[in-house]
Chains A and B, each alone.
Chain A
């Protein structure tokens, strides 16, 4: 079974600084996908970034990058130049691939609340 661990319940960062949100995962699958989602205080879930287990390059999307270390089974999210609007809950998630589930089976971590201060 897959498991996602986010050990940081809360993180603080000053505006314009970079911040890393930790995520480790446990799986016996060789092929899998890793995701990060953002949940602002308004409650909606927003997709941020995706990394495939066979992707050689770390995924990047604007100010978001995923620091993927396969041997360590970690998939940390790096937010560069933090903004006040980045204050939110962040969830790491993973999905097994190639098992007929079509990428639909998704396991989430417990989340990290990020607070960006002026």
Chain B
């Protein structure tokens, strides 16, 4: 089944404890993105990647890192999480030339 998977789906952590949210797609898509969704703010793009080793900042990159060493994976790294990074995170992928993005199921992160 064609899909984007994210792990973990739910995470509660403490301030300052490094964490990684994994994202993987099995559709051989070139493009991948990370978003965060907060009430009243919609979705905001954190980082995006146009191919392996090609990444760029979205609108809210502060406090996040990404890497794209393999085409299928695009992990989101929070080196020192803070409570204002409590949010619902979505990973998405898209094939070059297509319009439709395929979203993962989301990861709900709580930082205390």
B42 and A91 within 8 A (CB): yes
Q: Which of A6, A93, A103 has the most CB atoms of chain B within a 10 A radius of its CB?
A: A103
A44-B105 contact in complex given A103-B99, A106-B45, C-beta closer than 8 Å: yes
Quick one: closest A residue to B90, CB to CB? Answer: A45
Cross-chain contact of A107 among B30, B56, B59, B92 (Cβ < 8 A): B59
Cα distance A47–B94 in the bound complex, in angstroms: 11
A109 and B45 within 8 A (CB): no
B42 and A108 within 8 A (CB): yes
Cα distance A45–B36 in the bound complex, in angstroms: 12
Mostly, the A contact residues are loop
Mostly, the B contact residues are strand
Residues in B whose Cβ lies below 8 Å from that of A35: 99
Q: Which of A43, A47, A106 has the most CB atoms of chain B within a 10 A radius of its CB?
A: A106
Count of interface residues, chain A, beta-carbon cutoff 8 Å: 23
Cα distance A105–B92 in the bound complex, in angstroms: 12
A43-B99 contact in complex given A102-B50, A105-B48, C-beta closer than 8 Å: no
Q: How far is the CB of A63 from chain B (nearest CB, A)?
A: 17
Chain B proximity mask over A56-90: 1 for CB below 8 Å, otherwise 0: 00000000000000000000000000000000000
Closest 10 CB pairs of A and B: A45-B103, A50-B99, A108-B43, A108-B42, A47-B100, A104-B48, A110-B42, A102-B50, A104-B31, A43-B106
Known: A50-B100, A102-B96. 20 other contacts (CB 8 A): A43-B88, A44-B103, A45-B92, A45-B101, A45-B103, A47-B99, A47-B102, A91-B42, A91-B43, A101-B56, A102-B31, A103-B99, A104-B33, A104-B48, A104-B50, A105-B48, A106-B58, A108-B44, A109-B42, A110-B42
B residues with a Cβ closer than 8 A to A are 30-31, 33, 35, 40-45, 48-50, 56, 58-59, 88, 90, 92, 94, 96, 99-103, 105-106
- Would you list 6 pairs from A and B whose C-beta atoms are within 8 A, ordered by A residue? A35-B99, A44-B103, A103-B99, A104-B49, A108-B42, A108-B45
A residues with a Cβ closer than 8 A to B are 4, 6, 33, 35, 43-47, 50, 91, 93, 101-111
